[in-house]
Amino acid sequence: MQIIIYSAVLIAIIALIIGIFLGFSSVVFKVDVDERIVKVRNCLPGNNCGGCGYAGCDALAEAIVKNEAKVNACSVGGESVATKISEVMGVEGGSFVKMVAFVHCDGTCDNVKKIYDYTGEKDCRLVRLLPNAGDKKCPHACMGYGTCRSVCKFDAISIESNVAKIDPEKCTACKACINACPMNIISLVPYDKTHKVKCSNKDKGKVAMDVCKVSCIACGMCEKSCPNKAITVNGNVAVIDYEKCNNCGTCQEKCPRKCIS
* Model confidence band, residue 27 (pLDDT cutoffs 50, 70, 90): low
Both 126 and 169 in one domain: the answer is yes
CA pair distance 202, 199, nearest whole angstrom: 9
Residue 126 shares a structural domain with residue 178: yes
CATH number at residue 215: 3.30.70.20
Q: Flag whether pLDDT at 176 surpasses 60.
A: yes
What does pTM read for this prediction? 0.77
120-161 pLDDT per residue, tens: 899 999 999 999 889 999 999 999 999 999 999 999 999 999
Give the chain's domain count.
Answer: 3
Residue 10, in any domain of the structure: no
For residue 22, being part of any structural domain is answered with no
78-89 vs 35-43: helix axis angle to the nearest 10? 160
Predicted pLDDT of residue 32: 60
The answer to whether residue 261 is domain-embedded is yes
pLDDT at 30: 56
- Domain span at residue 103? 97-192
Residue 5: inside a domain: no
Give residue 31's pLDDT band: very low, low, confident or very high (50, 70, 90).
low
Assess contact for 78 and 98: CB atoms under 8 A.
Answer: yes
